[in-house]
Structure 1
Amino acid sequence: MLEFFIKPVMSEGGVSYMPTAAGYAALIALMAVVLVIASLVAGKNEHRQISTRHLTFCAAAIALAVVTSNIKIFHLPTGGSVTLFSMLFITLTGYWYGPKTGILAAIAYGILQMVIDPYILYPLQVLVDYILAFGALGLSGFFTQSKHGLIKGYLAGICGRYVFAVLSGWLFFGSMAWEGWGALPYSMVYNAVYIFSEGALTMILLAVPSVSKGLARVRQIAEI
């Protein structure tokens, strides 16, 4: 049954897995379902009617994240890159609408990333790398009512992604560890390089007063 959705492909690194045509269709359908659920959840917050505004803003954030994820400052050889603030756009969905919507929107983004730029060596890796790791960016929603909530939420989101990225590297990419390194310390360092490098750049951006004021204004519009 699984072979109907993914197929093994020979590459320089050995056998990897790619979605089939049916797999791509299923992923796109799943992403659409996740976005609809996110809209429904957002519409129920504070007993408000379902709002297309929430779906629109989540879709816009995902679109911006996809575009900026393809603007890479540097790219590591076996996956992972520092992008033009793509993780920030996904954490915004949680910051605007809370953890349920944020996590669902982040999962939708992860599915879309798998469709656009898959890097799959093991079927179970899909769950860890694309669902859990990207979905963790929605943890920003737990800080939506906190002082400096965007900064706290962003840090929570990227730390969550880091945990699952480390887990993936440990479980699935240990054979790629540098000479003399164990799988776990290799994964911790490797994933810290690109995740926290982008995180540091984003924190510098958020420290700019005009940027923080602009994002605060966007949140006000998104919540109307």
Structure 2
Amino acid sequence: MSSIKLKFDEKNQDVLIWNGQVVMSRTEEAYFQALFQRLAYLKPDTVLEVGYGLGISAVLIQEHMKPTRHDIFEIEKAIYQDLVRFAEAYPSVHPYCGDWKQSAIDLRYDFIFFDPFDYIPSGQGAEKDRADTAGRMKRLLNPDGVLCHPHFGDGDIPDLPSFTTIVVERLKVSPIRMADETSCDDVAIVFHQPVNERPSSGS
């Protein structure tokens, strides 16, 4: 399971900056608060979270969803240490260090929250990358499970192969500090559900 160790330009409880890019900042908190409040009704028993960052989403998943098992993958070693400390306070949290794509995950989840930072681009096109990720996610979800990710901006939300897309709400929040240091106050609460092909009945 490959992990990486990076030298951050800035790393504290409010911001992560690496190579001149904002990996995550506390300005995302209001959006994530709205997102997990709106999706709390899903009440997932098992949750997979990809990308720990500042731990904002992990705290809110615990607070609003209260899963009995909450697996979190973090690829960067220093951030993983933050995750280990977080897990000590939450018995349902299981921390994993490394690339989720290279890990032998043998569970199926009710809810996946996918928010990794792309430290090492795959080298393949965005379309192929999205299709590859969607295929892996579908294999990790229960048939009626939900895949969720942040969506910044007021543009179209890309569909994922073999998933339906549900836009729960579009809203404005206090300005979020983006990777390139622009700001964004348009966001969407969105999730995807796997399309389960059922054999057609004979006529």
TM-score when scaled to structure 2? Answer: 0.34
TM-score when scaled to structure 1? Answer: 0.32
More helix by share: 1
Structure number with larger C-alpha Rg: 1
